[in-house]
Amino acid sequence: MDYNQTELIIRPITKADIPQLLELIRGMATYEKVLSEVTVTETILEKTILTNQEANCHIGFYQGVPFGFVVFFDTYAIYSGTVGLFMNAIYVDAKFRRKGLGRALIRQVAQEAYRRGITWIEWACYNWNVNAQDFYTRVGAKNLGWCNFRLEKNVITDMAAESSED
């Protein structure tokens, strides 16, 4: 831990945090070289996270400056019949990396899991992001060796329109 604990705040986002969250999301997308894919707006973030509570989002501040965020939500394991948490995104701005703040964000999610009696947290990481993979291993995560797949909107639309007789 390379930070002063008294100068660290990690908490659920509020409406006032939405502009800062969007800037951090853009920072993450820039790092991941997918900035052109960011279509989320402040209005969408407010609706999906604050109003509809479709995901949990915590934002971190160090010395009053937003340094990162974590987004997570419930998921389910069919083999064990248990609920877990899925971290959809975790990001620490480059200026704040290697200070223990990423671990602090994950600890926040772990505390939520513990409070709720949840026994596992999962997330995905780009194959090329070896620094993140090394960090996750250092905090105690294990690589499950899975490949992630996604159906995009056009495929969903096409599949939904298919006859059930196919």
The 10s digit of each residue's pLDDT in 93-149 is 999 999 999 999 999 999 999 999 999 999 999 999 999 999 999 999 998 988 888
> How many degrees, rounded to 5, is the angle at CA 52 between CA 75 and CA 74?
10
Rounded to 5 degrees, what are φ and ψ at 53?
A: 50, 45
Q: Is the dihedral of CA 43, 49, 53, 54 positive or negative?
A: positive
* Euclidean distance between the first and the last CA atom of the chain, given in angstroms as a whole number: 57
Q: Look at phi and psi of residue 156 and say left if phi exceeds 0, alpha if psi is from -120 to 50, else beta.
A: alpha
Given the structure tokens 């194959």, which residue do they identify?
127
Which 8-state DSSP code applies to residue 64? T
**pLDDT value of residue 89:** 97
pLDDT band of 52, cuts 50, 70, 90: very high
Q: Where are the domains of the chain?
A: 5-161
Q: What is the mean pLDDT of residues 65-84?
A: 96
**pLDDT value of residue 6:** 84
CA distances from 12 to 9, 32, 62, 75 (A): 10, 24, 15, 19
Cα distance between residue 105 and residue 89, in whole Å: 11
CATH of the structural domain 5-161, one choice from 2.30.22.10, 3.40.50.1820, 3.40.50.300, 3.40.630.30: 3.40.630.30
Rounded to 5 degrees, what are φ and ψ at 65?
A: -105, 130
